[in-house]
Structure formats: C-alpha cells, structure tokens
Structure 1
Amino acid sequence: MWARQKRLSDLFDAEDAWTRPLPENYLRADAILALAMFACSALGLEILRSMGVLGGESAPLWAQYTAMASAAALLALRRRLPLLTGLGATAHLLIIGSVMPLVMGQVSQQVLYFIAVYSAVAWARDRRALVGVAVAIAAALVVWMTWYLALGSGMQQILDSLDDADRLSGLVPPVPAYLVYTALINIVYFGGAAALGIASWRGARRRHALADQAETIEEQAEALRDRAVVEERLRIARELHDVIAHHVAAIGVQAGAARRVMGHDPDAAAGALRTVEESSRSAVGEMRALLGALRSADRTTAAARPPGGSGAAFPDDPSASPDHSRSAGHGIADLGRLAASHDSADFTTSVSVVTGTGHPVEEVPPVVGLSLYRTAQEALANVRRHSTADRASMVLRTGEGPGGNPYAEVEILDAGRPRAGTSGSGLGLLGMRERVRSHGGECEIGPRVTGGYRVRVRLPYHPDVEGDRT
C-alpha cells in the first residue's frame, strides 16, 4: 500500500514544492482556445449529422450544442483552475456519455477531454492534491466503463456482433476482445494525456532550474568582478602607503641632515637636498602611476556594467596600463637604489645577494619583485622612524623550497632598540602580511633574540606562470 502511494507521489512529483508560474495573458489565450475548440466541435457535429451518423441521437439540437459549449468553456479555466477543469471534464464525460453518447464520442469532443486532463496534470499547483484528483478520475472512468458495458448499450453491441458469423474469425472471443479493446483505448488516451502533462510540468521545472542557475552564475560572476576591483584597490592602497611612508621618511631624514651640515659643509647639504628632490619626484611619479591604476580599475568596472549603468569614464592614460600600474617601475633591480636612498651621515645600509643554483635573480617575476621591493621599502622606513640603529643589512636570496618550487626572499636586519614616542599605526606590517598571503608565502616579522628587529619575507613563484600574470 505504502509502496503504491510512494510510486504515485513520485509519478506526479507530489513532494516538489515548486509552483509553475503562469505566463502572461494566459486567460486570453485559454479563452481563444475554448472558442476555437467549440467552433471545431460544432463543425464536426454538423458534418456527422449530414453524414447521417447522428440519426439515432434523440436529444434536441440545443442540448447537443449546450453540451459542446459547456465542455469548451472548461478550457477557458484550464490554467487558472487546472484541477477543477480536470474534474469538470470527467463529470462532463460521464453525464454526456450517458445521455448523449453519440455527441460525446465525436473526435472534437474527445480532444476537449484530452486537453482538460493534460492541463490538470501540467498546471496543477498543488501536486499532492493532483494525486487525489488523478485517482478520482481513473476510478470514475473505471466505474463508468463498467456500468456502460454491463448495463448500457455497450454489451448490446457485443451481443449483436455474435449474430454475424463473419465477425467470429479472430483468435479471441468477441466479448473479451471488445472489453480489452475498449480498456486499451481509454488507458492509452487518458494515460497519454497524463503522461504529456507530467512531461510538460517537468520540462518547465527544468527550464526554471536552469534559469535560476544562470541567474546565480551571473550574480556570482558580478560578485567576483566586484571583489577583483576591491582587491585591486586594496593592493593600490598598500602601494600608496608604502610609497608615501618611504619617500616622506627619506625626505625627512635627508632634510634633517642638510639642516645640520648646512653651516659648515655646504656640499653635504647640497647632496642631501638633491636626495630630497629626487625622492619627491619619485614619490610624485609613483603616486601618479597608482592613481592611473585606480582610473584603469574604474574604466574596467564601467565597461562591465550593463548599458545605462552609472560610472565615470576616464580618458586613456599610459600610466594607467595594467603593466605599469602593477609594477610601478620597481623591482628587485631597484633594491640597491632603495638602500642608498636611506643612507645618510649617521645611517648606512648594506645589500647582499645570495642566489641558489639554477635560480638567478633575473628569473624572479616582476609581481614577486615588486612585493619584495615594497617589503624592503617598508622595513627600511620603519628602521629609520622607529629604531635607534645606525645601520641595517638587506639580503636578497633565491633558492628552491622543499617542494621543488623556487622562491625569492628578502631579509632586513638591524641591531637597534625601539625609539621612544614613535609607535606607528601598524598598517605597514599588515600590508606586508597581506602581500605574503596573496602570494602564498611566509614571513617572520618581529624582534630578534640577540637584539634589534628582523623582517624576512619568502615568496614562492613559478617563472612562467607569474611572468604571464604580469
């Protein structure tokens, strides 16, 4: 019993809570269909009457047309009230089949019943109620066929056929053959209507699911585009912080040195002022490149928006090209100049390079080189601002990690103590760690056991892949 109910429930998708949406102007379309089917039924009725087929029909003409009109009227509600349409068509078949069997049996009238049963299955919004309606329709048809054959004119037609010896040439006796034939016609006819209705509902369900998936994919793609823009802006914000922190620190150091030696060593003061000039120009150039990158990101976002969306468009700027904004003209080759820019009368920076076998410095991709440069830039600026050290060492290393992947590493060491009253915001160190995380690398940032401070950042890379990304 339970297994049968489960099969019926699965057949009609009774446990699916989805409701098939009604199309636009469906009521008008169904009303037009009802009028068209009534016209076809009326035409078919008159043709049959002209052929003499309806000569044995005793019902008056107005009753015949009323029967056809009432059946066609059900189709006007086939999608608005699908279950009621199916039950109404079944009741109409039973009543008209009992009082006007010749009218009920015409082809156009049978098509009306077919469409009504199909619509009940295809458009039912309550799938659990549909199971009950389907069982009720099937039971009503079985009862009606039994009554028609046992007590109506159906059995009389079978008995009349026994008087004709020419009809007794088949393998099966006429009574069972007639019963099986009638049952098969009804099963195929109404079963086919139900099967088409199930196929139509499931097809609409699949299309709805595909539309939802397409919408979800589009939303995810838009979210990924927005996320990419946000990440690029955060990267540029870190770049801007590093640029300003480095150059302002260098300008402050050199300006202070120039002030101290201006009275007794004009040449040294002039050299310090030249360094201030170079640092300021470099800062302006780098910030211009970063602002160009922001404009490039805005153009990309505006291009990704649908027509009519808001967003500012910027004129083409060579400095805003992806390659330029991503590298900003700095990399591993600039580490020597970076160290020299911090040198002064009371501070020196040494630079050394240790390359692993088969991994020259030249193979380090620009993206990794830029991140190492920014790390060294921030670390040296922190030494000058927050440490009493009078010297720092920078070591650049390349090599091969445990997994066989090459890496590039920069390490900045100093032996000073923290300078009082110079605590920073911590954004520089946070930017370092975010860079390392974006490359899947590792870092060690903190005080040394022997005194001083250590910043070591190791970034793995693949020369071909990272090079393509730049």
Structure 2
Amino acid sequence: MLRARPADVISEWFGVDDDFERSPADPRASYRHDVWLGLTLTVLAVVGMELSRSAGYLVQAGDHPAWLLYVLSGAGALPLVVRRRYPLAVLAVVYAHFLLVGLTVPVVAMSQVLQVVYFMTLYTAVAWARDRRAMLIVVTACLVAMFGWLFWQMAVSSGMQEYAESEGLLADPPGFLSPLDAMVAQTWLTNIAYFLGAIALGQVTWHAARRRAQLAEQAATIERQAAELGRRAVVTERLRIARELHDVVAHHVSVIGIQAAAARRLLAKGDAGTQDPQVPLATIESASRDAVEQMRGLVGTLRDIGDDGGTAAGEDRSPEPGVADIGRLVDADDGLDVSYTLVAEPVGAEGSVPGALGLSLYRTAQEALANVRKHSTARAAGVTVRVDRRPVADDRRFRGGYAEVEVVDDGRARPGSSGSGLGLVGIRERVATHHGLAEIGPRVTGGYRVRVRLPMPVEGP
C-alpha cells in the first residue's frame, strides 16, 4: 500500500484542487456586516492607542507624534471592511502593514486590538479564499515574513537580556533552561500557536461550509429524484387507469351497438313487433351517458401525460373487479384480521355503482390493505363500503349520492418499513379522475385511515 506524500496530504486538506468556492449565503448582508466590523475595530484601535499613550505604556515610542500613531493604528484595522469580499488582498495589505509598522513603530504593531486584527485577517483568508492554491501561496508568504520579522527582532533586540539582568535571573536561574532560552522558546511557541491556530480555525470553518454545501446539493438531488419518481408513478398510474377505463367504456359502446341494432329491427317491423322499441333506446341513452361521463373524467385526468406507455406483456384481460369484489380482499390468510361491512341505502344500491367507480373503490381498498400488511404493526383492520343514493345537500358533486370505501387499522408505522408513498399517489389520482374526496392519514384515536368517496351519477333524464 502506497503512503500519501506529505505535500499531497496538505494539498488535500487545504482543498487546493477542490471545485468548491465558498461564498456568503446573503452577500449583501455579509458585506454590510464586514463594513461595520472593520469600522468598529478601526475605532477601537485608535482609542486603544490613546489609552496606551495616556497610561504611559508608549515610553519607547520615541518622538512620533500622536496623530501618526492614530493613523497607523486605524490603517491596520480599516481593510477589514472588505475582508470576505477580497480575503487574500486584505491579508496581504494587513500583514504588509504589520511588517512596515513593526520595523518602524513597533509599539503600534504590538497593540492588543491590532493583534486581534492580524488573527482575524489570517483566519478570514483561510476560511473564505475562493482560490485555494493562491491562498496557500499567500498564507505561506505571510508566515515566512512574520517569522522572519520575529527572528530579526530577537536578533537585534536586547530587551530580553536587560529584563533577565534586572530581575537577577542570570545569576540564579529558576528553571532547567536559562532565562534567555526560555524567553525565546516561549515567544516562538506563542507565535506558532497564534498563527497556526488562525489557520486551523479557518480551514475547519471552510471544511464545515463545504460539507454543508454538499449536504444541500445532495438534499436537492434527492428532492429532484423524489419528484421525478412521483411524476413517473403518476404517469404509470394514469396509464393503468386509462387501460381500465378503456375496458369499461368499450363495454358500454358494445352495449350501445347491440341495443341500437335491436331498436333498428324493432322499428323496421313497425306495429308487427311485439316488443317496445323504447326499451333498447333507453338502454342506449343510459349507456351513452355513462360512457361520456367516464371518458370526460379520463380525458381530464390524462390531459398532461407526455410519456409513452402501453399494455404490459401478459397483462390479465379478465373482467375488471368492482364493488362486489371488495369483500374477497379480506380473505387473505396472513395473520391480519380483516372485517368487511357493506352499507347500502336503499338496499341493493351497490348494484348501481358504475364499473369505473367500482374499480377505483376496489383498487383503493386493495392498496390500503397492502400498505397495512407491509408497513403497519396492526393486527386488525376494517373495510367498509357505503353506497348512498340520497343527495348530499351541502355538496353538489354528490347530488346523485355517493359510493365510498373506508379502510381503518389499529396499528402504527413499522420501524424501517416506510414505503415510497407512490401507492397513495395512485389513490389520489383515481379520486381526481372522478372528482371525489380522499381522506388519508393517521387517526386521532390511533391507527390509520384511508377513505375515498366518489360521486354517483344522477338518476333520471
């Protein structure tokens, strides 16, 4: 197994070849906040310099006028107003300021506020730079310059020596190392922690932002795929409805043809006929109305279909089930106790349910029971079919009465067995075909309910 080279590890950690470019979620608000932050730190830098001067901390500042100290302090913090818009340029400008001021007026560069500014600038460059390769180059150059300046300051400064002599540390060293060696080591350790801490914090922030962007992209992809699966499920279900309604309508058209031929023969016989020609004509009228209503719903539902589809090979072409067949769904011996109830008003009204409505009610019950068996902890379920020919006063859709099926259970969702939800999409598509109502969801008292109510055709002319 080949070990990765250190350069490759560093390049990968800093995201040198990564396509991700971090940018604020709300650029205008973020840049406005940067302006306020930069101006606040500029004011604090100037105020802090005056406080240090007034407290006598700037004895070594020499003959530099106060206004120059204020200008240099403010100039070090002011570039932060554009820190996230131009992170690398701000880093270069601020650290160039640090070097120039540190070599000429060190007391300014050592002020507490500017120390915070230098840390924040380095952090921002690592966390927000869009060109990671350029970031690595600029940050490396700044670190070399900073540690070079630190080495130069230690080489030419006698402050540590004077401090050790004044405290008598050279004559009686208190620790294992000499005082001068300990001071030098402590200075280097502090600066290493300072600069590398800013870099590490910035890079961790950048990785977190990249991870959030990846998760957001994955969530968007999953949402698109789910929408596509839902759309395909709708198309598949509509094609299935089309085939089923085709069989029902074809039946009505065949009846119309047969009854029309019978009426023509009866009319041709005139008074010699023994059967009233009004009977086949009434049958033709009823069948044609039923066929037109079903075709109208079919066209309305399938208007937007754009995919090609056809009958699957080997598809069962036996007569489509209806309301009378729903009772057979409870006979499955799979451990689920299913009860069946039929309520008809008037008695025998279930026989007047059109074939298309009966088929939709049957498919609804079939899908609901399948969901209970696959995805629920229920031990019992109930199937109720209601057919009522009385008009519903508050809903004109049901002025001819309604036919409905209701499936309820006493369980809850089984862990780890959640379905795709596409079966429920199919139920809603069938309901939309017939302009009915659907109630699908958990019950307040526990369990789950699927109830579908479809309008019955109006009786009479």
2:84 to 79, 82, 90: 79
CA distance 1:292–1:251, shift in 2 (3 Å): closer
State whether residues 78 and 116 of structure 1, in contact with CA within 8 Å, keep that contact through their aligned partners in structure 2.
yes
> Cα offset for 1:287?
4.5
How far does residue 157 in structure 1 lie from its aligned partner after superposition? 4.6
Structure 2 CA distance for partners of 1:106 and 1:18, relative to 1, 3 Å: same
Counterpart in the other structure of 1:180: 185
5 Å matches for 1:129-140?
129-140=134-145
Tell me how far apart the structure 2 counterparts of residues 88 and 263 of structure 1 sit (CA, whole Å): 109
1:205 aligns with 2:207: no
Query: Alpha carbons of 1:250 and 1:297: their partners in 2 closer, same or farther (altered >3 Å)?
Result: closer
Map of 1:19-418 to 2, 5 A cutoff? 19-22=21-24, 23-58=27-62, 59-153=64-158, 156-157=161-162, 160=165, 163-164=168-169, 168-260=173-265, 263=269, 266-267=273-274, 270=277, 274-275=279-280, 277-278=282-283, 280-285=285-290, 287-288=292-293, 291=296, 331=321, 370=359
The residue type equivalent to 2:273 in the other structure is P
Residue identity opposite 1:41 in structure 2: A
Q: Show CA shifts across 1:15-43 (max 9, x none).
A: 21111124224443322222111111111
**How big is the shift at 1:166?**
8.2
Cross-structure match for 1:15: 17
Whether contact under 8 Å (1:27, 1:77) holds in the other structure is yes
Go from structure 1 to structure 2 and tell me whether the alpha carbon gap of 1:242 and 1:224 turns closer, same or farther (over 3 Å shift): same
1:259–1:269 CA contact under 8 A, matched in 2 = no
Native 8 Å contact 1:240 1:287 kept in 2 = no
Aligned residue for 1:378? none
Q: How far did 1:113 drift?
A: 0.5
Structure 1 position 125, deviation (Å): 0.6
What is the aligned residue count?
325
- C-alpha RMSD over aligned residues: 4.2
Paired residue secondary structure (2:15): coil
In the alignment, what sits opposite 2:380?
none
CA distance in 1, matches of 2:126, 2:137: 11
The answer to whether the 8 A contact 1:8-1:131 is kept is: no
2:309 match: none
1:259 and 1:297 map into 2 onto residues whose CA distance is: 36
Q: Which amino acid aligns with 2:203?
A: I
What SS class does the counterpart of residue 28 from structure 1 fall into?
helix
For the 8 Å contact 2:41–2:78, the answer to whether it is kept is: no
One-letter identity of the residue aligned with 1:54: L
- The CA distance in 1 between the partners of 2:240 and 2:59, in whole Å, is 91
- In 2, the alpha carbon distance for the partners of 1:18 and 1:357 equals 55
**CA 1:357–1:174: 2 relative to 1, 3 Å:** closer
Contact 1:27–1:80 under 8 Å retained in 2 = yes
Instruction: Measure the CA separation in 2 of the matches of 1:358 and 1:49.
Output: 93
Q: 1:158 touches 1:174 (CA, 8 Å); kept in 2? A: no
Gaps of 5+ in 2: 304-318, 326-330, 341-354, 364-421, 424-448, 453-461
Change in CA separation of 1:257 and 1:5 when aligned onto 2, cut-off 3 Å: same
Deviation of the 1:266 alpha carbon: 2.8
Mark the CA change 1:240 to 1:178 in structure 2 (over 3 Å): closer, same or farther.
Answer: same
Distance 2:51 2:171 in 1: 30
Q: Per-residue CA shift, 1:283-307, capped at 9, x if unaligned?
A: 5235535645777899xxxxxxxxx
2:101–2:109 Cα contact (<8 Å) kept: yes
Larger Rg computed on CA atoms: 1
The alpha carbon displacement at 1:150 in A equals: 1.6
Q: Match for residue 349 of structure 2?
A: none
CA deviations on 1:43-72 (whole Å, 9 max, x unpaired) are 111111122111111133232222212211
CA offsets per residue over residues 250-273 of structure 1, 9 Å max, x none? 322332244346529734674xx6
Equivalent pair of 2:95/2:142 in contact (CA under 8 Å): yes
Residue equivalent to 2:5: 3
Separation in 1, partners of 2:145, 2:187? 15
**Structure 2 counterpart SS, 1:20:** coil
Distance in 1 (CA, whole Å) between partners of 2:244 and 2:284 is 16
- Worse-matched range after superposition: 174-183 or 116-125: 174-183
Residue in 2 aligned with 1:322?
none
Report the alpha carbon displacement of residue 181 of structure 1 after superposing the two structures with TM. Answer: 0.8
Q: Deviations over 1:335-368 (max 9, x none)?
A: 9xxxxxxxxxxxxxxxxxxxx9989xxx9x999x
Cα distance in 2, alignment partners of residues 278 and 34 from structure 1: 87
CA distance in 2, matches of 1:290, 1:176: 96
CA distance in 2, matches of 1:295, 1:81: 57
Gaps of 5+ in 1: 299-328, 336-355, 375-437, 440-466
Residues 253 and 282 of structure 1: CA distance in aligned 2, closer, same or farther (over 3 Å): closer
How far the C-alpha of 1:171 sits from its partner, in A, is: 2.6
Larger % of helix: which?
1
Within-5 A mapping of 1:422-441? none
The alignment-based identity, stated in percent, is 38
1:54–1:127: structure 2 CA closer, same or farther, 3 Å change rule? same
Could you tell me how far 1:92 is from its partner in structure 2? 1.9
In structure 2, do the counterparts of structure 1 residues 205 and 167 end up closer, same or farther at CA, with 3 Å as the change threshold? farther
- Give the aligned residue type for 2:43: A
How far does the alpha carbon of each residue in 1:222-280 deviate from its partner, in whole angstroms, 9 at most, with x for none?
Answer: 4444444444443443344333332222322332244346529734674xx63563354
CA distance in 2, matches of 1:158, 1:2: 47
**CA–CA distance in 2 between the matches of 1:167 and 1:226?**
85
Q: Which amino acid aligns with 2:138?
A: V
Structure 1 pair 211/114, CA: closer, same or farther in 2 (3 Å)?
Answer: same
Q: 1:69 to 1:179 in 2, by over 3 A?
A: same
Q: 1:287 to 1:220 in 2, by over 3 A?
A: farther
Q: Distance in 1 between matches of 2:298 and 2:161?
A: 93
The answer as to whether partners of 2:263 and 2:280 remain within 8 angstroms in 1 is no
Asked whether the 8 Å contact 1:13–1:127 carries over to 2, the reply is yes
